[in-house]
Structure 1
Amino acid sequence: MVEAARALFVREGYHATTLTAVADRAEVGHRTVYVRFGTKAALLRHVVDVAVAGDTAERAVAERDWYRAALTGRTLADRIEALAEGTAGLMERAADLFEVVLQAQATEPELAEAFQAGRADTRGLLRRFVESARTDGLLAETTDPAWQEETVALAGQAETYLLLRRTTGWAPEQYGAWLRRTLTHVLAAPLR
């Protein structure tokens, strides 16, 4: 059902996709989709959650191996590499669905709230990444640590990737390379 819903949401958009169409594509009874998810918004939230995680395991991003490596790598370069690779992979899996959520949030408060919560979670995870590197003595001296944290948090947001994809045509790999370079500049170069 998740794969069927993903394909329809991405191809048809939120408003044109129905739970009945998802059931038909998934070759399950119509009632099955309604019983399992209840609403189209709840189904989309689940599909996005699976795409963000990369699987159906009940583990948050903070518990994923790539994020743990971003917090514990031996060098700043190791940590940046893990974060950039993990974030680019997440965007590759979920960006098309983020576009669907952005389209739907005007009429679906549940989706707007979930997307805002995702922004806040992402900001928190990225600030934690910077704070961990600072605590471990891996960052260049700066007079403005809050700027570092906020800049990194902005670079890793879904909307940043979506804007870059729209304006530059970048694929996730190109975004990953940009993210590596940006984070290296922001975190390794002394600020004056």
Structure 2
Amino acid sequence: MMHLVKDQVKADARAEFGAARIARTEALVVAAARELFLEHGYAATALTQVARRAGVAPRTVYVRFGTKAALFRRVIDEALVGDAEPIDVAHRPRAQDAMTAGTLAERLDALADVAAGIADRAGALLEVAAQAEGAEPEIAEAAQSGRRETARLCREFWSRASLDGLIQSIMDTGQLANTTDALLCADTMVHLRRVHGWSHAEYGRWLREALRTLVAAG
């Protein structure tokens, strides 16, 4: 029996070591890919270049990620939340504050913080994604899925605010959600970066004021 326990412990240790090694390798590849996508854009970046920058064999990149589109999506996903943990934006602490804080002002500030954080971590990559959508159906679908999720979160935000008695009953939550969606969506972030050269901090200040104005106007 003792031998069986020891064998299991060794097997678990080997599995843990292997998982840690895979995680380190993937982190190197994702970091290298992020650098190259930002330096050269999507079309001009090849997986062989990513492998070279990461210091791994090209086959490793193909085995772990499969396609350039899949790797780019991984880069975007990690940039959106700030790490490799499998927890989406909606379930991060600041996003939860936006849904549960005691006052509407606190919720709006949290919502603005979430969007500004995304602009900081992923704003430049979202520009790359916008360029890649026309050529890569997988990226186009992922971008559209992200737009739908943003719209859903905006509807949930105002629905909860209404249920919690934080807005007047006469206010149109559907209209509030649609306008908030237009303010928060990735396309707006990209537009403001391209046309006005705004930083994430400028975007965050503008968004916070726009959300407050939206409520005051309602």
TM-score normalised per structure 2: 0.84
The corresponding residue for 1:9 is 37
Structure 2 residue 175 is the aligned partner of structure 1 residue 178:
no
The corresponding residue for 2:123 is 95
The corresponding residue for 2:146 is 118
The corresponding residue for 1:75 is 103
Query: Equivalents in 2 of 1:60, 1:51: separation in Å?
Result: 11
For this pair of structures, how many residues does the alignment match? 190
The corresponding residue for 2:48 is 20
Structure 2, unmatched stretches of 5+, are: 1-28
Query: Equivalents in 2 of 1:186, 1:159: separation in Å?
Result: 20
Query: Equivalents in 2 of 1:97, 1:143: separation in Å?
Result: 36
Q: Which moved more, 1:23-32 or 1:178-187?
A: 178-187
Secondary structure in 1 matching 2:167: coil
What letter is aligned with 1:13?
Answer: G
Please state how far the C-alpha of 1:164 moved relative to its aligned partner. Answer: 1.4
The corresponding residue for 1:66 is 94
Please state how far the C-alpha of 1:190 moved relative to its aligned partner. Answer: 4.9
Secondary structure in 2 matching 1:106: coil
Secondary structure in 1 matching 2:86: coil
Identical amino acids, percent of aligned pairs: 47
Secondary structure in 1 matching 2:140: helix
Secondary structure in 1 matching 2:188: helix
| CA gap 1:46/1:14 in 2 versus in 1, 3 angstroms | same
Instruction: Answer yes or no: is the 8 Å Cα contact 1:140–1:190 preserved in 2.
Output: no
Please state how far the C-alpha of 1:142 moved relative to its aligned partner. Answer: 3.7
Query: Equivalents in 2 of 1:142, 1:91: separation in Å?
Result: 33
The corresponding residue for 2:8 is none
Instruction: Answer yes or no: is the 8 Å Cα contact 2:162–2:169 preserved in 1.
Output: no
Instruction: Answer yes or no: is the 8 Å Cα contact 2:69–2:139 preserved in 1.
Output: yes
Please state how far the C-alpha of 1:160 moved relative to its aligned partner. Answer: 0.7
Secondary structure in 2 matching 1:5: helix
Please state how far the C-alpha of 1:79 moved relative to its aligned partner. Answer: 0.7
Deviations 1:75-106 (A, max 9, x none): 11111111111110111111111111111111
The corresponding residue for 1:35 is 63
The corresponding residue for 1:154 is 182
Return the structure number with greater helix share.
Answer: 2
Max Rg structure: 2
Please state how far the C-alpha of 1:172 moved relative to its aligned partner. Answer: 0.6
Deviations 1:136-179 (A, max 9, x none): 11124545332111001111001111111222221111111111
Structure 2 residue 199 is the aligned partner of structure 1 residue 168:
no
Q: Which runs of 4+ in 1 moved over 4 A?
A: none
Query: Equivalents in 2 of 1:28, 1:48: separation in Å?
Result: 21
Deviations 1:100-140 (A, max 9, x none): 11111111101100100000011111221111111111124
Aligned pair partner of 1:108 in 122, 136, 139: 136
Query: Equivalents in 2 of 1:43, 1:190: separation in Å?
Result: 43
Over the aligned positions, Cα root-mean-square deviation in angstroms equals: 1.2
